[in-house]
Structure 1
């Protein structure tokens, strides 16, 4: 079939490869180009060991404290408070125990498939060297918080996720650059990270071009049901396809709305600072409990980033948040380079209140498949999402129940 994918990020390109492997004629369309959004600036962590939705009672308990600090792990831009209220209401609803349990079950089912899918995709394209399998660390600066977290680590072990608990001395054997403020850690030996998110996305794009997947730069403003499906550009021109995949990340909501699907997609704005050439401080990604940031040793340099800012797509960045992340990092990582030597970035995580992506057909157009809303797990879940998109288009039963990911679940 002739299949058009809207979005040249990680999810779109993974879907393009999965569909081209089945003999379809694939075109990828993007308003900018490959790796233009969150696919270039994320933390680079293949975090398939994570099983916690953002929506949870634990997170809700922390919200008042976070909101008292405008530069803390969670902030809402004042001018965006009214627009984000419906999304926040759904977040609270998703945090109810019965809803959270269903979200965890669905997230675990997807995460279990994430690394095998990445292994197949990267191996088939000769990109295995871009994935580093050195594990990942969750570190604590408070013994009481570490003790409270042990029950959660036990839950992860019960799901088959390898997890080793480390004291301060054991931790510093792995990462000597971590300061004495870090008192304990959980080490996940099966976690991984990539060489650099932009490099990986560009490599997927280059491999797509090499296998005769086509690319067109265009701004799609609406999708109309078929057959054939029509894509309407902002210029007024149209394209047609037998099938369409919407994988436009944070910009997917109006395209879904053009087909009658009201999806509560918003953006968690993430910030980072990257230090080119700084490659010796850490050996693996480190997440700092309760601080809202991670540090990742990319091949291109050290990246420090994270936090959540609810502010939509239009407001300018507030890089005072980036400086605040950096200030925290200097407390926990020795010999950090000066802030001015780094490059700052802000990007848009496409986020759904229940922390589950939208994967499934449009209500009014079964020939259109949605694949967006992965939040903090876009890199992690991109390869498996591409495989699931191929299953749906082929009419095969997917290996997991996609009901919890349905665009109609709202």
Structure 2
């Protein structure tokens, strides 16, 4: 039995997904309590690149990608790596990843990702207007650069997919044209693609805190607590937490890379893995950066954060327990120094964060198969910030029994 006065709705996770979802549910008349083990935006929502990457519709599991798998084990500093000590642990996930790369699954995932991106772009604009957040946005586009004709040609299918989905871009074929958008790049980069509608936040931590401040100002609550179990009850859910038991009518699990542990307490087994992302943030004045830069062939990006420069990215599939390998951040910084000769490499701050990743690159946005009053909103990989506002609206639709704007089958908890 539930307590006499259970909490209306509990959101587990105060990252960008959880806070956005809490804010959206609040708009729809729900009394919401957010619980987080560390506080607002303390994890991946703090240290990410700050990009709303709506043009990144291509899943990580692309056809033929598994031919590269052996190399991942032997290049610990490469764009996508698996620490040898973790290879056995991740084998079942990699098998699902391989299956997701088959042409039939890949095409379906790409279509679903594109639909979620379109929805999330529109949802973000609604969110910005709702919280008066335009001052925290940077609408400067994105420049993806390529070293030579061959690397550029290899990227053409990706640009074709973007064209199919109505994403505007300009393709450039000489260093002088590139320099008009972003001066100061090494002339080895002979080709590029510029997506003018790309946008960033000035700082992902500030954006998450801004949303949380609006949420609490409107009556919402955020508490620090560790949740160890969820137990279905009559007409609700009991949460076992470090601050005592809490009863709620409905619970949303948006705890990022830790979410599958909570799902497991309900009997749901979700194949969630962790993309460990690394970056270095340089202080103001490090470089005259005018747009978001993507060095696709090397797996990293360069973005403006609070007037400084953040260099980060790549994917290390290494779980939650292994110690950070900051040599990866060092390698990215060294490459950025070669690619941007005027970059001042001094005074940087390193970071590593956990990004929750599912094998098909699609998030889980669904009701629990075992407990109908529990909803899942996790598994966005490196696209959590991008898809946060859209995910929030879709979760709120499910919670309030409103017909979602998208076909939700690709994001179902039972698809694995």
The match for 2:188 is 181
The match for 2:296 is 289
1:229 alignment partner, one of 221, 237, 240: 237
Q: CA RMSD in A?
A: 1.3
2:94 alignment partner, one of 84, 88, 94: 88
Instruction: State the TM-score, normalizing by the size of structure 1.
Output: 0.97
Residue range with higher mean Cα deviation, 320-329 or 225-234: 225-234
Gaps of 5+ in 1: none
Q: Deviations over 1:319-351 (max 9, x none)?
A: 11111111111121121222x510000000100
The match for 1:43 is 49
Gaps of 5+ in 2: 1-6
1:317 aligns with 2:354: no
1:30 alignment partner, one of 16, 19, 36: 36
1:21 aligns with 2:23: no
Taking the TM superposition and a 5 Å limit, the aligned residue runs for 1:5-404 are 5-167=11-173, 168-226=175-233, 227-234=235-242, 237-278=244-285, 280-338=287-345, 340-404=346-410
Q: Deviations over 1:161-213 (max 9, x none)?
A: 00110122111101002111111100111111110111111111111111111
The match for 2:3 is none
Q: 1:67 to 1:216 in 2, by over 3 A?
A: same
The answer to whether the Cα contact below 8 Å between 1:121 and 1:383 also exists between their aligned partners in 2 is yes
Q: Deviations over 1:245-267 (max 9, x none)?
A: 00000010110111111000010
Quote the Cα distance in structure 2 between the aligned partners of 1:308 and 1:371. Answer: 21
Q: 1:284 to 1:342 in 2, by over 3 A?
A: same
Residue range with higher mean Cα deviation, 226-235 or 283-292: 226-235
Could you tell me how far 1:124 is from its partner in structure 2? 0.7
The answer to whether the Cα contact below 8 Å between 2:144 and 2:294 also exists between their aligned partners in 1 is yes
The answer to whether the Cα contact below 8 Å between 1:269 and 1:308 also exists between their aligned partners in 2 is yes
The answer to whether the Cα contact below 8 Å between 1:279 and 1:299 also exists between their aligned partners in 2 is no
Instruction: State the TM-score, normalizing by the size of structure 2.
Output: 0.95
Q: Deviations over 1:263-288 (max 9, x none)?
A: 00010100000012236421111111
The answer to whether the Cα contact below 8 Å between 2:72 and 2:82 also exists between their aligned partners in 1 is no
Quote the Cα distance in structure 1 between the aligned partners of 2:139 and 2:284. Answer: 21
Quote the Cα distance in structure 2 between the aligned partners of 1:151 and 1:247. Answer: 33
Aligned residues between the structures: 408
